[in-house]
Structure 1
Amino acid sequence: MGCAERAGINLGADGISVIEVTGKDNLMISDVLFRTLGVPCYMVFDGDAGTEERKRQSTAHLLPEQRQDKELKYERDARRTREKNADLLRYLGSPPIPQPSDESTARYTVFEDNLETYFSQHWLAWDLRRRDLVALG
């Protein structure tokens, strides 16, 4: 929505609503419900490729036993995320790739990791401004 506003596009005036469904688990059911009601849908979701590694880095300060427990949980979470990615892509009529690359089709957009990672790699001004805002508190 922020990108549309910045570009001077009023999504609401064009009959477009952005609806956050809070997680991959809710994407398919929301899509089915809206499409059943005749509402066309377009999905945007993260592949979360870097999430496990970021979580692992956050455990560096823990004792080895605590770190091991956390890392096992992160591995299970990452495995489940890959399964959800494949399920979503299969539902959308695409090959069920567990760890998709950045891709945009007529039906969906998926970011390999997440939107923030994509922006920091492909829109340098965004990342610089984000860093400035973080530095300002």
Structure 2
Amino acid sequence: MASANGKGNLVVAHAILAQLGIPSLTVFDSDSGNADRLRKRGRSQHEIDDEDRKNSTLNRAILEYHGVSDLSDYPAGRQSPHLVVWDDNLEQVLQDTWAAWTPTHENLLAELGEGKTKRAAVYRLTARRCEGQPSEILTEVITLARSLSGL
């Protein structure tokens, strides 16, 4: 797993891996619910519109780069054998589809005294500690990634 540190870097990261002959699966958040989250935080309509425009432009650019013909501002699901888009964001998918995720994640953050919730290492540890199996949508992405790596 490699992080591109933001959807704006995904195309470059994928292009580098492709040039090196390394198969990859691109997975990103569509951020379809971002406007509502910003509104709840008291952001101005101008800020919300700017963020919405930025996200929809980036989403379409990533789809286009990957050869997806049905360009959408806020795609969701498997778009190609090498591209998956979370509807809204991964955190919402985890919360909605894996019952053990949220309490396990919150307990781990408290245990670690961690304030920043979006850290790959914390996500990995949370997944290891979660009881039960991940949801079908999560296991599908894991299966896709493993099929590319031969694992």
TM over 0.5: yes
Q: What's the RMSD between the two structures over aligned residues?
A: 1.9
**Residues 1-137 of structure 1 aligned to structure 2 (within 5 Å):** 18-59=1-42, 70-94=44-68, 95-103=70-78, 105-133=80-108
Where in structure 2 are there 5+ consecutive unaligned residues? 114-151
Asked if the contact 1:48–1:113 (Cα under 8 Å) also holds between the matched residues in 2, the reply is yes
Give me the TM-score of the superposition, normalised by structure 1: 0.71
Q: Rg larger in 1 or in 2?
A: 1
1:93–1:71: structure 2 CA closer, same or farther, 3 Å change rule?
Answer: same
1:133–1:38: structure 2 CA closer, same or farther, 3 Å change rule?
Answer: closer
- Identity of counterpart residues, as a percentage? 29
How many residues are paired up? 111
Where in structure 1 are there 5+ consecutive unaligned residues? 1-17, 60-66
Name the counterpart of 2:137: none
Asked if the contact 1:82–1:99 (Cα under 8 Å) also holds between the matched residues in 2, the reply is yes
Give me the TM-score of the superposition, normalised by structure 2: 0.65
1:112–1:73: structure 2 CA closer, same or farther, 3 Å change rule?
Answer: same
Asked if the contact 1:88–1:96 (Cα under 8 Å) also holds between the matched residues in 2, the reply is no
Q: Which amino acid aligns with 2:14?
A: D
